[in-house]
Amino acid sequence: MPNFTVVDCLIVLLYLAFVLGIGIALKPRTKTGKDFLQAGRSLPAWICGLAFIGASVGAQEVIGMGAACARYGFEAVHFYLLGAIPAMLFLGVFMMPLYYGSKARSVPEFLRLRFDEKTRVANACLFAAMAIFSSGLSMYIAARILQALHLFDRLFFALSWTPHGAFLFFVVLFAAIVLVYVFLGGLRGAIYNQVLQFFLLVAGFLPMVLLGLRRLGGWSGLKAAVPAAYLHPWQGVAHAGANPMGVEIVGLGMGLAFVLAAAFWCTDMRVIQSALAAKDMQSARRAPLLAAIPKMLLPFLVILPGLVAIGMPTPHSTTEERIEGGAILRTTTVVRPEVEAGNGLVPAKVDPATGRPMIAASGQPVLDYDMATPNMLLHFLPTGLLGLGLTALLASFMSGMAASVTAFNTVFTVDLYQAHLHKGASDEHYLKVGRWATVGGILLSIGAACAAFQFNSILDAFQLIFAVVMAPLVAAVLLGMFWKRATGHGAFAGLLAGSAAALLHHGLTLPIAAYPGLHGGWIAVLHSYPSDLEQNFWTAIFAFAASVIVVVAVSYATRPRPDAELVGLVHSLTPQRANKLWWKRPEALAAAILFVAIALNLFLI
């Protein structure tokens, strides 16, 4: 860490103190369960919009998208232009009127209003598990990044701590910080920190990208430094083997652009809770639409660093000889084995048992793509800017953790505890339950962090859990909102059938060059995919298809609810109030954003 000085350390410490100060300052305003779980439903649209985007720009995106670009090239832009913008617009225009208008405090509670209690409980349990796993992923990558900085190596050496001990220390450190400001400020504290995190991300990452491109000689130098296939996001999508991502057009269009996009942006409580905290319906609808504007520009901050990292030359151990005063002097620069075995600034992953680079089934080193963006920060940012960049990185970690933890405590308190374990208690009682649910969620997340090491990209782990848990939910929610014939029995059976189909598909398939286990093939290997992403996309497709089939079949076999009970819950039965001035309507803003997104796609072809 030659560039990390006292100035950088002070910047990081100032941010941490500010984060804790937000929680302390908001504690007097957090007096009721509604204040803690819903931020009092009092926030303006622009704050909810920035929090909406901040909640999504956690470790899974800041690190995962940089890793995806280093691994697959600029095809990772599909996660934005196809996998985010259309779904965000659809949420704001068509779904938020039902979410917000129903006065549901969570997505599972909306399922209870639309379907029945068993559907609510099934989704609440599955989502709670997913939120814990997502928070654990953020803890895991945060701890790994701090390990890579080697800031506390002297302390750990003095205490005779192993790398595992250091890893747990960092996990507990981040868990404690998030626990304090969420425990004190609730959802409002998390939202304010997510707004701060967005501005820090821009300020910290923009200099890194510009300096990286300058080192390579601009865009033309980057094109010369990386394989040509890495620069054309639409090249080869007709065939999975013709592009680095290994994803063909059906998997990309159906798996990413439809199922997984809707799963994250339209049904994930971690981002939807930001819009539900808005002060009125108009603000709630505008929140995801306003968030879509900066979302179109984020690829240049979080994706491009992965491409620059691959374009840089791979460091190697060197020996330099020179003659001074008649003596031959040799200077040897020693590079770690995992760095030499890497590609550019992306090192190989280290086997914790042997301390040597890990080798895949193909015989090639397993590259640690998650280190692409952190190594870019260390390599390019000078003193002061490095502290700002690391602060932006740490802010994204804690923002993602806080979004998962606040969603967990809301779902646990509202959909499990209040609905089944302790009905009719005072609001102050539910405030205490929400705070202690935060403590429990943090503790469970620490355990989940230890399981994430098996994946060489957190994006793979995140996509897998989404395919299993959220893809079936998409089918149930969309059918429930837009088909009045859907029944509670059908939705409940569809959720279970979709998750079962996802697990079955994952257990029978395996990516090429992967070992059976967490990557799949734990039942038998009947089919191999070119990449983990292609496998995850098709896992989501199978889960969604199975859920749709079961929901429709069971709904036709059971009695639907009367139309009068579905007003405000089904789109066709809910009257829509439109602003007389068409340019002030959310639909007009959504159309303008969609036009810009299509133009960006055409520019990248």
Dihedral angle sign, alpha carbons of residues 217, 220, 221, 226: positive
Largest CA distance in the chain: 98
From CA 244, how far away is CA 531, in angstroms rounded?
9
From CA 173, how far away is CA 179, in angstroms rounded?
10
367: left (phi over 0), alpha (psi -120 to 50) or beta: beta
From CA 262, how far away is CA 144, in angstroms rounded?
30
* List of domains in the chain: 6-31+43-313+370-604 (1.20.1730.10)
**44-53, 370-379, 469-478, 490-499: least confident range:** 370-379
From CA 407, how far away is CA 38, in angstroms rounded?
10
In the three-class reduction of DSSP (H, G, I as helix; E, B as strand; rest coil), residue 124 is classed as: helix
Which pLDDT score is estimated for 340? Answer: 85
DSSP 8-state class, residue 356: S
What value does the mean pLDDT take over residues 178-183?
A: 92
Which pLDDT score is estimated for 64? Answer: 82
pLDDT of 578 strictly over 70: no
Confidence of residue 336 (pLDDT cuts 50, 70, 90): confident
Alpha carbon distances (Å) from 595 to 140, 180, 288, 602: 38, 42, 16, 11
Q: What is the pLDDT of residues 534-571, one digit of tens each?
A: 899 999 999 999 999 999 999 999 999 999 999 999 99
CB–CB of 150/379 below 8 Å?
Answer: no
What helix, strand, coil percent values describe the chain, rounded to 5? Answer: 70, 5, 20
Backbone φ, ψ for residue 529 (5° rounding): -105, 155
Residue 328 burial by CB count (10 A; 0-12/13-18/19+): exposed, middle or buried? Answer: exposed
Which pLDDT score is estimated for 518? Answer: 76
From CA 84, how far away is CA 187, in angstroms rounded?
23
From CA 150, how far away is CA 166, in angstroms rounded?
10
Dihedral angle sign, alpha carbons of residues 91, 107, 396, 70: negative
Confidence of residue 329 (pLDDT cuts 50, 70, 90): confident
Instruction: Find how far residue 23's CA is from the centre of its chain.
Output: 23
pLDDT of 458 strictly over 70: no
Query: Facing residues of 104 across strands?
Result: none
CB–CB of 50/194 below 8 Å?
Answer: yes
Q: What is the pLDDT of residues 238-266, one digit of tens each?
A: 555 566 666 777 888 888 889 999 999 99
Which pLDDT score is estimated for 581? Answer: 67
Confidence of residue 460 (pLDDT cuts 50, 70, 90): confident
The four Cα atoms 538, 539, 540, 545 give a dihedral, to 10 degrees, of 80
Name the average pLDDT for the chain: 86
Contacts of 201 (CB under 8 A, 6+ apart): 57, 62, 301, 302, 392, 395, 396
* Gyration radius (Cα) of the chain, Å: 24
Which pLDDT score is estimated for 243? Answer: 65
With tokens 């940012």, the residue in question is 381
From CA 563, how far away is CA 484, in angstroms rounded?
8
**What is the length of the chain?**
605
**2-6, 19-23, 46-50, 395-399: least confident range:** 2-6
Contacts of 153 (CB under 8 A, 6+ apart): none
pLDDT of 419 strictly over 70: yes
The four Cα atoms 431, 435, 441, 443 give a dihedral, to 10 degrees, of -150
pLDDT of 148 strictly over 80: no
Confidence of residue 3 (pLDDT cuts 50, 70, 90): low
DSSP 8-state class, residue 528: E
**53-57, 234-238, 361-365, 591-595: least confident range:** 234-238
Q: What is the DSSP string of 473-505?
A: HHHHHHHHHH-TT--HHHHHHHHHHHHHHHHHH
Which pLDDT score is estimated for 453? Answer: 57
User: b/e map of 474-486 (b: 16 or more CB within 10 Å)?
Assistant: bbbbbbbbebbeb
